[in-house]
A and B are shown apart, each in its own frame.
Chain A
Amino acid sequence: MHILDPELWSIVWLSLCVSGTSLIVSAVVGIPLGAWLGQAQFFGKRWISALIHTGMALPPVLVGLLVYLLLSHSGPLAELGWLFTPQAMILAQTILALPWVIGITMAAVAAVPADLLAQVRSLGASPWQLRWTLIREARQGVVLAVAAAFARNISEVGAVLIVGGNIQGHTRVLTTAIVLETAKGQFALALALGAWLLFLALLANLVIIRAQGRPWV
């Protein structure tokens, strides 16, 4: 495999598609949920926080196994036919990323002073405008949540290997390709794939820094 090899590009592209899609799903679900949890006061909130933080430590192989059991022929979601497809990999990575997005967003939103929200309300914000302002004020933390979730997804191997099967041209991504090439003793190629992975992470983080509104230098 070399830099112009179409297989390499398909691996890079699939890595971006799987990690990117699961990131979008977890952000769409996790940011509003985390924002709500960050501000809401209710009985049992500490327990929910503890569960979410535990979710951040979920082992990818365990998630892979659970998703495998759900999607396998005898599993409750067998009818979807997702096992050994990119959809299964997206599902597994979404489960892994979601606690990170929720947990960090929750902490960021909780740090916004309650009095600021009262002042925003006093200027005539509707409930939706208030929520949007809250997320904007916690933007640094929310963007960090997305960055952490992306880092978790793009570098994860256990779950995608189990539910994707590392099928050439179909479910092979950068991390599973590194595992394969290492097993074959192709260390130079495995390292080159690792460099690609880091390059993608760097590109993603440049985009994220931009979204945080920080200067480039």
Chain B
Amino acid sequence: MGVAMQPVVYHVENLEKQYTGRAVVQIARVEVVQGEVLCLVGPTGAGKSTLLRLLAALERPTSGVLRFGLQQRPIADIPLAERRQIAMLFQRPLLLHGTVQANVEYGLRLRRIRRYSEKARGLLNQLRLGEIAQQPALTLSGGQIQLVALARALAVDPQVLLLDEPTAHLDPAHVALVEEVVREYQRRVGATIVWATHNLFQARRVADRVALLLDGQLIEVARAATFFETPADPRTAAFVNGKMIY
């Protein structure tokens, strides 16, 4: 299905985010459409995490347009009910005090959803964390924290899932598990996923489209096959071929 046929979830135009006077994100134009998996690739410090935070309505743009949802409201004006359609998994997830299961239930409790325990248990089992459900969350390893945080984000059935290096601390078997769980969720719910990763192989496996960020600027956005096989921009080609361009 062509990307352009789907409703637009995010519309970005002349978006700029500055910290202490320095622009860390400067994007001329891009749209994210419903149901796609858009991978953000780029070197460390390229602005991927900041862009995700902007998309999650956790940061306000310094200038420019960032609209969200079917009604295409400016991101700063979206009401809580719409913000609750978005969930983000952070690069360094932090868990709350309490058990692993309580952490996964957290978003459901915020929404006063009944039978939250069943749902949390189901997700924990899917991510092979059932055995540690009653363990204190603050005793987990980095990889386990990342898996619990993914379960916590998926538990609230987000229409938009923002993933910031969700497999950074995982072994290959768990990387495969996460990719499978996320793709299965995306197919089942029709969710839109923006996935930041350093791993180009991962981007090849999971993305419908891929975007290259360099120094906060969007260099190229293309369908995955085009991005990797016949990129339009020489910087994309250099990045894909592993050449140092930053």
Contact = CB atoms under 8 A, between A and B. Distances in A.
A113 B92 CA distance: 12
Contact of B107 (A118, A124, A126): A124
B73 interface: no
A122 B160 CA distance: 11
Residue of B93, B94, B107 contacting most chain A CB atoms (<10 Å): B94
Contacts of A126: 80, 110
A123 B97 contact: no
Contact of A119 (B80, B94, B156): B94
A120 B103 CA distance: 10
Contact of B94 (A116, A124, A129): A116
Interface residues of A, number: 17
Interface string A90-123: 0000000000000000000000010110111111
A152 interface: no
A17 B33 CA distance: 62
A181 interface: no
Contact of A122 (B80, B88, B96, B97): B88
- Majority DSSP secondary structure for residues of B touching A: mixed
Nearest to B86: A122
Contact of A136 (B58, B97, B111, B149): B97
Q: How large is the interface on B (under 10, 10 to 19, 20 to 34, 35 or more residues)?
A: 20 to 34
A125 interface: yes
Given A116-B94, A119-B93, A124 B111 contact: yes
Nearest to B149: A119
A130 to B, nearest CB: 10
Nearest to B53: A118
B153 interface: yes
A128 to B, nearest CB: 10
Interface of A: 113, 115-116, 118-126, 129, 133, 136-137, 139
6 contacts: A115-B92, A119-B149, A122-B87, A122-B153, A125-B110, A136-B97
Given A123-B107, A124-B107, 11 more contacts: A116-B94, A116-B96, A118-B53, A118-B90, A120-B106, A122-B58, A122-B90, A123-B106, A123-B110, A129-B110, A136-B97
Interface of B: 53, 56, 58, 80, 83-84, 86-88, 90, 92-94, 96-97, 106-107, 110-111, 149, 152-153, 156, 162
